[in-house]
Each structure stands twice: as C-alpha cells, then as structure tokens.
Amino acid sequence: MDSRNRNSLSKLRQMVREMPRSSVVTRCELCSAEIPSSRHRHLLELAVRQVRCVCDPCALRFHDVVGGKYKLIPRDARALTDFQITDAQWDSLSIPINLAFFFHSSLEDKIVAMYPSPAGATESLLSLETWEMLVTDNPVLAQMQPDVEALLVNRIGTTRAYYRAPIDTCYKLVGIIRARWRGLSGGKELWEEIEHFFAHLKEH
C-alpha cells in the first residue's frame, strides 16, 4: 500500500471514530413524537396489559381519567418499611418463588398475583380472603391505584422487602428475568442483576 492510500485509510478511520454514534430513537406510541429514551411516562393498555411509552403531553391527557383504553402509570416506587406479613401468611399465598407482585385488575374485578419466570409473567391463584387479611394488616394496600400500582415483594434469601410500585417497574423485573435466565437456577449474573434492580429501587 503506497503512502497516499495509507493516508486516505488513516483519514477514513479518523472520520469513523469522530462520527457520533447512532442511537435508537424512542418515540411516543400515540403521537410518534421523539421522547427521552431513559426517562419518559408510560401508559398501560388495560385489555392486553401492555405498557406504552408516551410523551408528556399525551400522558397529561390521561391524568385522572376514569375508564377508557389506557391508564397513566405513576412514576415512582415507595418502600413499605412497616409492611406486616408472617412467613405462614406468605406460604399460604402459594407463590412458587420469593418474588411476586399483586394488583387489582379493574377489567377482571379481582386481585391478580403474578411472579416472574423464564417464560415471562406467570399468574398464580390468590384467594380473596387471603388478600383481605393482608389489607386489614396493611391498609396502604387499599390505597393502590387499580391496574397501575402493585405490591412488589422480594423475599429472596433473608430479604424481606415490600414496595408500592408502578406496574411498569414490576414488568421491568419480569423482563430482566426472562432475558437473563440461564440454566436451571438462573445463573449468578441474573441474581446479581436482580440485587442491583432492588438496590436502585430502594434508592428511589
């Protein structure tokens, strides 16, 4: 290769290094406006329990709206430091793993119990009587917004952590487990990611 070609190749490489890296553009799923990829509002499409990314103007259209196709999902989770539940009560819920979330489905008019699995979010049977006992001991559960807020439970190992969490946060945890699960037990990296997820949740 002669010096002219070497110089041209060197300049080409420099141009490639200096080019801004392309990034995936996130758009509002209602009006197609570009929105920040890391921090934007979400709607829940009730009939299919699908989370939709939306811009702030579209989100405001659904603030305090009763009924309809979509509901605005709250932004932040809150740790329930005084949550009351015994090991026997937890066992009575018959959740096969120590991660789960519970919310009131307005379409089905019932409390839905779900747990994350390698296959996605899996529903578990939950008796109304059992839930009512928890509400009696923890009145904050009666204040959760139907469909879009959930009781998120982490009882992995010795952890006993409970959150009033937006439903998109719960589905984010489901996505992590579905995407990262390896082998029979999930793998070390997955459980480290789950630990990081809850550490971040606790900080906010």
Residue whose pair of structure tokens reads 């009939």 in the numeric block: 47
Burial class (CB in 10 A: 0-12, 13-18, 19+), 97: middle
Q: Residue 20's domain spans which residues?
A: 1-73
Give residue 1's pLDDT: 54
**Whether 194 and 97 share a structural domain:** yes
Residue 204 pLDDT level (bands cut at 50, 70, 90): low
**Whether 38 and 119 share a structural domain:** no
**Whether 179 and 90 share a structural domain:** yes
**Whether 88 and 175 share a structural domain:** yes
Closest of 93, 135, 132, 97 to residue 113, by C-alpha: 93
pLDDT in tens, 94-149: 899 999 999 999 999 999 999 999 999 999 988 888 899 999 999 999 999 999 99
**Whether 122 and 86 share a structural domain:** yes
Among the residue ranges 23-27, 88-92, 143-147, the one predicted with the least confidence is 23-27
**Whether 38 and 137 share a structural domain:** no
**Whether 102 and 178 share a structural domain:** yes
Torsion sign, CA atoms 131, 134, 140, 142: positive
Whole-number Cα distances in Å, 200 to 26, 126, 203 = 23, 29, 5
**Whether 142 and 174 share a structural domain:** yes
Last residue of a domain, one of 34, 58, 73: 73
Average pLDDT, stretch 185-203?
Answer: 91
Last residue of a domain, one of 38, 73, 108: 73
pTM of the model: 0.84
Closest of 99, 101, 102 to residue 155, by C-alpha: 99
**Whether 27 and 59 share a structural domain:** yes
Alpha-carbon gap, residue 9 to 84, rounded angstroms: 67
Residue 67 pLDDT level (bands cut at 50, 70, 90): confident
Last residue of a domain, one of 35, 57, 73: 73
Give residue 7's pLDDT: 47
Q: What's the total number of domains in the chain?
A: 2
SS (H, E, C) the chain: CCHHHHHHHHHHHHHHHHCCCCCCCEECCCCCCEECCCCCEEEEEHHHCEEEEECHHHHHCCCCCCCCCEEECCCCCEECCCCCCCHHHHHHCCCCCCEEEEEEECCCCEEEEEEEECCEEEEECCCHHHHHHHHHHCHHHHHCCCCCEEEEEECCCCCCEEEEEEHHHHHHHHHHHHHHCECCCECHHHHHHHHHHHHHHHHC
**Whether 45 and 89 share a structural domain:** no
**Whether 110 and 45 share a structural domain:** no
Q: Which amino acid is at 35?
A: I
**Whether 64 and 111 share a structural domain:** no
Alpha-carbon gap, residue 44 to 5, rounded angstroms: 56
Would you say 63 and 155 are in contact if contact means Cβ atoms under 8 Å apart? no
